[in-house]
Amino acid sequence: MQGDEIKDLIGRVALGDRTAFAALYNQTAPKLLAICLRILKDRTEAEEALQDVYISIWQRARSFRAFPD
């Protein structure tokens, strides 16, 4: 997934688009979970951290500001 696609999805999430949120999750969660696992070394903790990340994205998407390319 490219940066522009992520920016678009987050913009749609900011408008409350649940389909965009699901797409963002489906496209980014596997890689982010792998990163969490590498850092935390415990699957349960990694899954909880991943959940916290996506809750924050949903709650704070309106404050997202993309950097210019």
pTM score over 0.75: yes
| Amino acid 1: pLDDT | 63
Q: Let me know: does 49 contact 40? Beta carbons within 8 Å.
A: yes
| Amino acid 21: pLDDT | 97
Q: Let me know: does 13 contact 58? Beta carbons within 8 Å.
A: yes
State the CB neighbour count (10 A cutoff) for residue 21.
Answer: 18
Alpha carbon distance, N-terminus to C-terminus of the chain = 16
φ/ψ (deg, to 5) at 36? -60, -40
Q: What is the pLDDT along the chain (69 residues), one digit of tens a residue?
A: 688 899 899 999 999 999 999 999 999 999 999 999 999 999 999 999 999 999 999 999 888 876 665
Joined together, the tokens standing for residue 25 give 């999750």
